[in-house]
Chains A and B, each alone.
Chain A
Amino acid sequence: MGEVIRTDVVIIGAGPIGLFAVFELGLLDIKAHLIDILPKIGGQCAELYPEKPIYDVPGFPVVTGQGLVENLMAQIKPFGATFHLSEMVEGLEALGTAEHPLFRVSTDAEKTFEAKVVVIAAGGGSFQPKKPPIPGIDAYEGKSVLYAVRKMDHFRGRRVLIVGGGDSALDWALNLQPVAARVTLMHRRDAFRAAPHSVNAMRALVAEKKMDFVLGQVTGLKGEAGQLTAAAVRGEDASVFDLPCDDMLPFFGLTMKLGPVAHWGLNLHENLIPADTEKFETNIPGIFAIGDINTYPGKLKLILSGFHEGALAAQRAHHYVYPDKKLLFQYTTSSTSLQKKLGVA
């Protein structure tokens, strides 16, 4: 365990709701660290629909997912939040009391935080790689079926089967081609949803016979003790054949899984966290749940609902962070003290 990062609030999830919570907390002089499993800021807005127009964010007749994230980042800039990306929160442990909460938050990157308040703004859960429903795949996972490349050297001299037709599949096919004994790219169709220059580079390598491209889908795996020897493939013409390989890298995008949240002692209802509608606090005092991950009577999974929830949660968070200070409600339009915090007065 390395150094402990001490802060007022840890926000789990850097989607639009986590970002706006930084604003509402910041107005109350509360500092936040945000942790997100994705390598980028913006949550579903950035991962699922960066280019898609959203029509129901108040004040924006139309805004794209990425546009909303960029605007929120500009809005919270004065508050200097710290981001920890590509990290999953694994542990959440209560150290304090109901009146004086204190939490220890630990991530899979072996960072440890101590915070008086935790805000869970994790949306649909954490984004994790989709696992193909191939019978027996579990036995190979982590050994010869891998969903990410951690060390390129692992693939030196090995026959690597890369499955998928997006940027991840194309990028890794190109990056591993000089390292691996042989790279085979397999996709269900001869069209790709990837950067055209990557597709062209792949086609050139295939033409030079330095890489293979196979049309088909993997239906089974062969090998022993987690070590692949071949993938059973159904080709485009419904023919079935074995493709010898030592490793398989499936790239079918990401899916949302509730993940470690289930093990933190929080009440759950159908994979959602019940919260009250006054403070959006969970069954554990000091832990709040806002945005798509919470549930309460009448809940609507709308971005605008999450903004409201964050504002109310911040009011209660103030009580835990500054137990001796009385909170005076103020408006950004008229309060010079708030305007100073925003850097505009």
Chain B
Amino acid sequence: MIQLTYTDSTGKSRTVEAQAGATVMETALRNSIPGIDAECGGACACATCHVYVAPEWTEIVGKASQMEEDMLDFAFEVRPNSRLSCQIKVTQALDGLAVSTPAKQG
């Protein structure tokens, strides 16, 4: 079983079960996690599924691709641990992953 934890900008957390192969964005939507809009539906075309990866996870999750970095230009409060959650695929290695969502997506 793979578990992901989402924390919103007020500090409220929820841990949900994730399927390998789904993205961190899809897992959020499936579980009605607030704070992730995903307007474009996962095409890496809107920057409304912006998350901050917990510092201890950044290395395992990896860096944003060039295209994703470009899209992050349209997000707010971008930090070194910013990622678009539609571009993070869930694997067994990500069991326990913690991400937080910004105050506003768009």
Show the binding face of A for B, using Cβ within 8 Å: 44, 48-49, 52, 124, 130, 132-133, 164-166, 187-189, 191, 193, 217, 252-253, 255-256, 301
A-B contact pairs, 27 of them (CB 8 A): A44-B40, A48-B40, A49-B40, A52-B45, A130-B74, A130-B106, A132-B76, A133-B76, A133-B77, A133-B102, A133-B103, A164-B73, A188-B73, A189-B69, A189-B73, A191-B69, A193-B70, A193-B73, A217-B76, A217-B77, A217-B78, A252-B73, A252-B74, A255-B46, A255-B48, A255-B106, A301-B41
A205 to chain B, nearest CB (A): 20
A48 touching B77, Cβ below 8 Å: no
Measured between alpha carbons, how far is A193 from B76 in the docked complex, in Å?
Answer: 16
Measured between alpha carbons, how far is A165 from B69 in the docked complex, in Å?
Answer: 11
Measured between alpha carbons, how far is A91 from B74 in the docked complex, in Å?
Answer: 30
**Contact partners of B77 in chain A: CB under 8 A:** 133, 217
| Given A133-B102, A189-B69, A217-B78, 15 other A-B residues pairs in contact with their CB atoms under 8 A | A44-B40, A48-B46, A49-B43, A49-B45, A52-B43, A188-B73, A189-B73, A193-B70, A217-B76, A217-B77, A252-B75, A253-B74, A255-B39, A255-B48, A256-B39
B82 to chain A, nearest CB (A): 9
**Contact partners of B86 in chain A: CB under 8 A:** none
Interface-centre pick from B41, B72, B75, B76 (highest chain A CB count, 10 A): B76
Measured between alpha carbons, how far is A44 from B76 in the docked complex, in Å?
Answer: 21
B67 to chain A, nearest CB (A): 9
Contact of A252 among B40, B41, B76, B103 (CB under 8 A): B76
* Secondary structure of the B contact surface, majority rule: loop
B72, closest chain A residue (CB): A188
**Contact partners of A165 in chain B: CB under 8 A:** 73
B74, closest chain A residue (CB): A253
**Contact partners of A252 in chain B: CB under 8 A:** 73-76
The answer to the question of B104 belonging to the interface, with a C-beta cut-off of 8 Å to chain A, is yes
B73 touching A187, Cβ below 8 Å: yes
Interface-centre pick from A48, A188, A256 (highest chain B CB count, 10 A): A188
**Contact partners of B41 in chain A: CB under 8 A:** 301
A236 to chain B, nearest CB (A): 10
**Contact partners of A164 in chain B: CB under 8 A:** 73
**Contact partners of A124 in chain B: CB under 8 A:** 39
Measured between alpha carbons, how far is A327 from B53 in the docked complex, in Å?
Answer: 58
A53, closest chain B residue (CB): B43
A125, closest chain B residue (CB): B39
Measured between alpha carbons, how far is A189 from B69 in the docked complex, in Å?
Answer: 10
B39 touching A253, Cβ below 8 Å: no
Measured between alpha carbons, how far is A121 from B47 in the docked complex, in Å?
Answer: 24
**Contact partners of A188 in chain B: CB under 8 A:** 72-73, 78
A65 to chain B, nearest CB (A): 9
B71, closest chain A residue (CB): A193
**Contact partners of A191 in chain B: CB under 8 A:** 69
Interface-centre pick from A48, A130, A164 (highest chain B CB count, 10 A): A130
B43-85: CB near A (< 8 Å → 1, else 0) gives 1011110000000000000000000011011111110000000
Measured between alpha carbons, how far is A217 from B78 in the docked complex, in Å?
Answer: 8
A48 touching B45, Cβ below 8 Å: yes
Measured between alpha carbons, how far is A193 from B46 in the docked complex, in Å?
Answer: 14
Measured between alpha carbons, how far is A252 from B105 in the docked complex, in Å?
Answer: 11
A50, closest chain B residue (CB): B45
Measured between alpha carbons, how far is A164 from B47 in the docked complex, in Å?
Answer: 14
Measured between alpha carbons, how far is A44 from B41 in the docked complex, in Å?
Answer: 11
**Contact partners of A48 in chain B: CB under 8 A:** 39-40, 43, 45-46
6 cross-chain pairs, A with B, having the tightest CB-CB distances, nearest first: A255-B106, A253-B74, A133-B104, A193-B70, A48-B45, A165-B73
